[in-house]
Amino acid sequence: MVSFMFYDLIFFLLFTLATIVFLYKRKHNLKRQGLMYLYRTRIGLKIIDWTSEKFEKILRPMQFLIVGCGYILMGSMIWLLAKFTYIYSVSDIAKQIKIPPILPLFPYATDLFKLDFLPPFYFTYWIIIIAVIAISHEFAHGIFARLNKIKVHSTGFGFLGPFLAAFVEPDEKEMQKAKKFTQLSILAAGTFANILMTILFGGIMALFFVVSFTPAGINFNSYAESVVPLAAITVVEGMQINNFNEINNYLENNMTEIGVEGINYIVPTVSLEYALENNIERIIVFDDAPAFRANLKSPILEIDGKKIVSHSELSNFLDTTLPGDIVNIKTGENGETNEYEIELSERNGKSFIGIGFKSPSNKGVSGYLTKQLYKIKDPFVHYVPSWNGNFAWFIYNLLWWIVLINLSVALVNMLPVGIFDGGRFFYLTIWGLTGSEKLGRKAFSLATWSIIFILIWLMIVWTFAVII
């Protein structure tokens, strides 16, 4: 069976050819700006005018919400950038992930950088998402410009090869003469539209998931773990040691068996070596449990022929067994299954498989939102489509990308950097607070160069961690 990628690449080639023909036939209407070609039209101007007039009573008070949302997005993005920069600089995350910290999202980036934890990113997705993001973002700028009686000269498209952008072109002189609050509302309108699209498509995605997918098993994301003092290790690879400094003498394999107070554990050798080199007193180890020994893989579909679709069902099943019982565990996904014969061990007097369910932190706003999302799609439940499998996943992944990229664009676009709406938004804010345009420009320049420096620093850290 031919994969969707084949048709997607054909679509990419046809779209590229169509773009070249389009640009050639209309080359007299094109204007080059940097690396891009701009094609101006008047498409959508009547819709922009109609919307601003028809919903004026709603849109005018909405400007306060839009400006407030702009400040929240700007503050959130600055905080996220600062937190990411700190973590990226002091940890070995660059070596672990190995992808550049600054990477434009282009078709098949997930395949190129082997980001298996993300859904595929087809060219078809890219075109649809650009349309959703750019049209809503730019039309919002235009609507609020017209709401405040600022002319909009044109709409249009930008071309960089087969890649597209959209723009709305308000009268720049009238824009600069407008009140600061008016300018702030117009600048933040685009990102506010992206937030609305995030909420809208998030709701559509949730509804689609509920009606199109059904539980078919359980996911686990770790094996049973414990924390042990390094100094308490008395056995390494079956050999008795008198001092934990002797551990290095027995580190030969990828995984090392250790004994602490008569209990066996297994630890990745690199983790043990790191702890020894850095004088770390306590380390996380795997319990010597059946799941780890059998190299059991997620998701679990059945145990002894009984379908298991929740954590409670797994617990109830184990309550009917005894330590030492041998069970047949069926795992697998995408039509491929594996079966394991596992002898249950004992913990606290009950049967024990040795799998773990690690939940992310539920702190703060992001934690609260994550918790709400888990009520719809439990990360520890394995779901399968209830109808045409490939197409259901295609639609779900498209909706997922639309939500993620809309939110990302809203955040990044409010960074106080010259090329983004957030740059002028920040400049007007400082000017308004201080009453000095000169100070506003200096603050704007400082913010822009500071963020550019941070981005360069992140790339330097990545280069030394991955390439050099």
Q: Is the pLDDT of residue 361 over 70?
A: no
What local confidence, expressed as pLDDT, does residue 392 receive?
95
Asked if 265 and 285 touch (Cβ cutoff 8 Å), the reply is yes
What local confidence, expressed as pLDDT, does residue 468 receive?
62
Does 35 or 336 have the greater pLDDT score? Answer: 336
The fraction of the chain above a pLDDT of 70, given in percent, is 95
Q: Is the pLDDT of residue 38 over 90?
A: no
Mean pLDDT calculated for residue range 162-174 = 85
Interatomic CA distance for residues 97 and 106, integer angstroms:
18
What local confidence, expressed as pLDDT, does residue 381 receive?
94
Helix, strand, coil percentages (3-state) for the chain, rounded to 5, are 55, 20, 25
| Closest-CA residue to 4 (of 383, 398, 377) | 398
339 strand-pairing partners: 330
The mean pLDDT value of the chain amounts to 89
Q: What are the pLDDT digits (tens) for 214-228?
A: 999 999 988 999 999
151 backbone dihedrals φ, ψ, rounded to 5°: -65, 145
Mean pLDDT calculated for residue range 205-218 = 95
* 416 DSSP assignment: S
What local confidence, expressed as pLDDT, does residue 261 receive?
87
115-119, 123-127, 133-137, 161-165: which range is least confident on average? 161-165
What local confidence, expressed as pLDDT, does residue 177 receive?
94
pLDDT band for position 188 (cuts 50, 70, 90): very high
Mean pLDDT calculated for residue range 100-106 = 82
Three-state secondary structure readout of 52-92: HHHCHHHHHHHHHHHHHHHHHHHHHHHHHHHHHHHHHHHCC
214 strand-pairing partners: 384
Q: Which domains does the chain have, with CATH numbers?
A: 29-214+395-467 (no CATH), 225-288 (no CATH), 293-356 (2.30.42.10)
Q: Is the pLDDT of residue 16 over 90?
A: no
What local confidence, expressed as pLDDT, does residue 365 receive?
63
| Closest-CA residue to 181 (of 66, 80, 288) | 66
Helical spans, DSSP H, in 113-220: 123-147, 172-177, 180-212
Q: Coil, strand or helix: which one is 382?
A: strand
Q: What does DSSP say about strands 263-268 and 282-287: parallel, antiparallel, or unpaired?
A: antiparallel
What local confidence, expressed as pLDDT, does residue 3 receive?
82
**Under the phi-then-psi rule, with left for phi > 0, alpha for psi from -120 to 50, and beta for the rest, what region is 39?**
beta
Q: Is the pLDDT of residue 1 over 60?
A: no
Q: Coil, strand or helix: which one is 404?
A: helix
Interatomic CA distance for residues 390 and 386, integer angstroms:
11
What local confidence, expressed as pLDDT, does residue 97 receive?
72
What local confidence, expressed as pLDDT, does residue 366 receive?
66
What local confidence, expressed as pLDDT, does residue 161 receive?
62
The tokens for 98 are 């190995």
The fraction of the chain above a pLDDT of 90, given in percent, is 59
Interatomic CA distance for residues 254 and 28, integer angstroms:
65
What local confidence, expressed as pLDDT, does residue 459 receive?
92
Residues in Cβ contact with 271 at an 8 Å cutoff, skipping those fewer than 6 apart? 283, 284
Q: What are the pLDDT digits (tens) for 244-280?
A: 666 776 677 788 888 888 889 999 888 888 888 888 8
What local confidence, expressed as pLDDT, does residue 205 receive?
96
